[in-house]
Amino acid sequence: MPWWVKTLVVLGIWGVMVFAGVVAYFAYDLPEISQVAQFQRRPAVTVLAADGSKLARFGDMRGETLEVSEISPDLVHAVLAVEDRRFYSHFGVDPIGIARAAWTDYRTGHMRQGASTITQQLARNLFLSPAKTMRRKVQEAMLALMLEHRYTKDQILGAYLNRVYLGSGTYGVDAAARTYFDKPATEVNLREAAIIAGLLKAPSKYSPSANNERAEQRMAVVLATMVDAGYITVEQAKAVVNQPAQPRANPAVEGDGRYFAAWVADQVNAFIGPNHGDLVVHTTYDAKMQRAATAHVAEILNGPGAAANVHQAAVVIMAPDGAVKAMVGGRDYDESQFNRATQALRQPGSSFKPFVYLAALEAGRTPDDLILDAPYKRGKWEPKNYEPGYMGEIPLRTALAHSVNTATIRLLESVGIDRAIAVARRLGITAPLRRDLSLALGTSEVTPLELTGAYTAIANGGRAVFPYGITEIRDADDSVLYQRKGSGAGYAIAAAEDANLVRMMMGVVQVGTGKSAQLADRPIAGKTGTTQDYRDAWFMGFTADYVTGVWLGNDDGDEMKRITGGTLPAKLWKAIMTDLEQGLPVRDLIPLQPAAVQDQAPDGPAVPPLPTVETVPLDGAPTAAATPDPGVPTVDTTGQVKPEAVQKEEDQDDDKDVPDQTPSNKPDPIGDLLNKLKKEE
């Protein structure tokens, strides 16, 4: 035997041994494919509106397990076209696909295409982690070969179609078809099949229940791929593309009711614990109110708000017992799931002042008692009113109606900071509150939800409420696991003081800073709020039927263009409440109180008389607010505030509208597809 033959034999033996060693290295911890992995899913939580209609669903869902022959052929072909068009010809790994992907990546200079077959994807989904490592890729290929050896092509494709994740907590094409189109996978048409297949690239991004426009664009790409693969004709693709866009699937969550749904879903574990199965959650949600709130928020943000640098909003609509009927947590749930109604802590500005005036009423003051409006200075802190000039001694009702800062600070100084904080706590404010005189100007941050809840106690005759959205929770067997009982925390305000405060807040709308919120046919009460440099603008108000809180601002605290609580927030409140009150009878804001209610203020420390006029000039326009010096120490309990926290309240009655913003042109991917299809013709 020649030497070179011996050399080749030896090298061959060593090569086989090395190859066997490599295979053994990657195969020693491979799972047994005969034991298919158990499907693990999160329990499904279905959220229902107050009328019993479906609002949203969280968690995971599987549909029926179907054979390939039972699934709509259009759906099978769409998946094969975009994922693995040579599925029925390769042996589990696609060398042609690998070569094509490698060449594309080489030409572009970066990774753009993958080459995993459906068999490889199934192996990864069943047995491996998603980690992008060489070991995982090799094991994925080995498992694919083993699956192809043991099972038929239809069995492998069926297992893939029944288990693949397709967004919104759905696993398998049948669950996706039922979730997005309310029909089984056996009945989907070509358009629906293309949308479902399009989800495979990025389920969250292309979900029709999250972004219908994006789903339609991806559908067009899938149709073009099906034409290229020979599954449909150009004419069929054109017919689908030229159809009018279908409305968003799951219309119950239209209008960003998802902010509300996510809020209540997050509370479920607190009521029944984390270890539970599938649940049905009944809520207080009202779809009609939600649509009204969402539509008017969009009008403001896309119209005058856009020109005034207003990018975000929050709205809470509450019934007198604390039931949250609707909630806007931001401009767009798809862009940001951060709920500004329940999670954002923002300074309320003068919308905090009613708590100070209620503390004064409980301490024996009356709406007609006089308080001084004059320049005020404590150390380096010199807060100003929004309007120039001072009015001298004015009634408390006038000070609240016109949101006079200097008068409110003097009132808080007289009544006592602790008493005002105690009032806010009784009414439901749980956020930390500053213990200094800037509290009068709303420098302590609160959420729109808790501030609306506190106003509800004023609106309903003095009963403190716990804002709630869940009325009942049932399990999959329809057994009641939780049912709301009780009506709140009881009376927190005596009838006389509550009636006086409501009348004073009616004055805010009739003659003060909130005139833009007036409703033509019924009485309302409320309060405006604006913070320093126009970072936050509020209108909090109520009728006899509902309490609605409105906040406008920017997530980063960027300054709005002279937007105060009396401008866009008041107008937004009016637009929403006009829709809500349509058809309801006109009712008094101050109903008769139950005889059992004690008509007296809660116990508290004695309050000194209101301060007299100080020897300071009352004429002349105010100067700009004092600029704080760096390094000033924090306030102590005497009421001396540190300048960097000073809140300049800027409420006014300004009915000037800001011009609408012209919408920009958008690209037309559907049109691009049509051009491509014409060229292919």
Of 203 and 334, more confident: 203
Q: What is the pLDDT of residue 264?
A: 95
Residues 70 and 96 in one domain: yes
Domain count along the chain: 2
* Burial of 178: CB neighbours in 10 Å, binned 0-12, 13-18, 19+: middle
The pLDDT confidence band at residue 246, using thresholds 50, 70 and 90, is low
The pLDDT confidence band at residue 13, using thresholds 50, 70 and 90, is low
Residues 146 and 238 in one domain: yes
**Which residue, 207, 242, 277, sits at the end of a domain?**
242
The pLDDT confidence band at residue 17, using thresholds 50, 70 and 90, is low
The pLDDT confidence band at residue 537, using thresholds 50, 70 and 90, is very high
The pLDDT confidence band at residue 672, using thresholds 50, 70 and 90, is low
* 403-457 per-position pLDDT tens digit: 999 999 999 999 999 999 999 999 999 999 999 999 999 999 999 999 999 999 9
The pLDDT confidence band at residue 121, using thresholds 50, 70 and 90, is confident
Q: Could you identify the residue written with the tokens 């995982």?
A: 136
Q: Mark whether 83 is an active-site residue.
A: yes
* 633-650 per-position pLDDT tens digit: 333 333 333 333 344 444
Of 608 and 578, more confident: 578
Kindly compute the dihedral angle of the four CA atoms of residues 601, 605, 609, 615, in this order, to the nearest 10 degrees.
Answer: -130
CB 271 within 8 A of CB 36: no
Is a pLDDT exceeding 70 seen at residue 203?
yes
The string of DSSP letters for 363-390 reads TT--TT-EEEES---BTTB----SSSS-
Return phi, psi of residue 56, to 5°. Answer: -165, 165
Residues 198 and 269 in one domain: no
Q: At how many degrees (to 10) do helices 448-459 and 353-362 cross?
A: 40
Residue 548 located in a structural domain: yes
Listed in sequence order, the residues at least 6 apart from 330 whose beta carbon sits closer than 8 Å to its beta carbon are: 256, 259, 312, 313, 314, 336, 338, 339, 340
Residues 202 and 288 in one domain: no
Residue 550 located in a structural domain: yes
Q: Mark whether 650 is an active-site residue.
A: no
Of 600 and 147, more confident: 147
Closest CA to 93 of 120, 125, 55: 120
Query: CB neighbours (10 Å) of residue 371?
Result: 24
Is a pLDDT exceeding 90 seen at residue 105?
no
Residues 108 and 92 in one domain: yes
Range of the domain at 536: 39-59+255-345+470-486+517-585
Closest CA to 469 of 339, 317, 283: 283
146: domain CATH number is: 1.10.3810.10
**Which residue, 536, 554, 585, sits at the end of a domain?**
585
Residues 88 and 223 in one domain: yes
Residues 182 and 293 in one domain: no
Is a pLDDT exceeding 60 seen at residue 668?
no
The pLDDT confidence band at residue 5, using thresholds 50, 70 and 90, is low
Residues 150 and 72 in one domain: yes
* 467-488 per-position pLDDT tens digit: 999 999 999 899 999 999 876 7
What is the average pLDDT value for the chain, to the nearest integer? 81
Residue 262 located in a structural domain: yes
Residues 77 and 51 in one domain: no
CB 394 within 8 A of CB 367: no
Residue 425 located in a structural domain: no
Beta strands in 336-456, from DSSP E residues, in sequence order? 370-373, 392-395
Return phi, psi of residue 320, to 5°. Answer: -60, -20
Of 333 and 114, more confident: 333
- Provide the residue count of the chain: 681
Is a pLDDT exceeding 80 seen at residue 300?
yes
CA distance 51 to 41: 29
Q: Is 113 helix (H, G, I), strand (E, B) or coil?
A: coil
Residue 12 located in a structural domain: no
CB 192 within 8 A of CB 78: no
Residues 191 and 55 in one domain: no
Residue 93 located in a structural domain: yes
Of 116, 207, 209, 350, which one is the catalytic site residue?
Answer: 350
Is a pLDDT exceeding 70 seen at residue 615?
no
Mean pLDDT confidence for 311-317: 98
CA distance 328 to 432: 24
* 26-83 per-position pLDDT tens digit: 444 445 545 444 445 568 889 999 999 989 888 777 778 899 999 999 999 999 999 9
CB 127 within 8 A of CB 141: no
Q: What is the pLDDT of residue 147?
A: 80
CB 576 within 8 A of CB 548: yes
CA distance 656 to 490: 42
Q: What is the pLDDT of residue 226?
A: 95
CA distance 536 to 552: 6
Residue 336 located in a structural domain: yes
Q: What is the pLDDT of residue 679?
A: 53
Residues 184 and 232 in one domain: yes
CA distance 657 to 305: 10
Considering the chain, what percentage of its residues have pLDDT values greater than 70? 73
Q: What is the pLDDT of residue 650?
A: 42
Residues 214 and 287 in one domain: no
The pLDDT confidence band at residue 297, using thresholds 50, 70 and 90, is very high
Q: What is the pLDDT of residue 389?
A: 86
* 19-42 per-position pLDDT tens digit: 555 444 444 444 554 544 444 556
**Which residue, 585, 612, 630, sits at the end of a domain?**
585
571: domain CATH number is: 3.40.710.10
Considering the chain, what percentage of its residues have pLDDT values greater than 90? 55
Residue 10 located in a structural domain: no
Of 72, 83, 148, 649, which one is the catalytic site residue?
Answer: 83
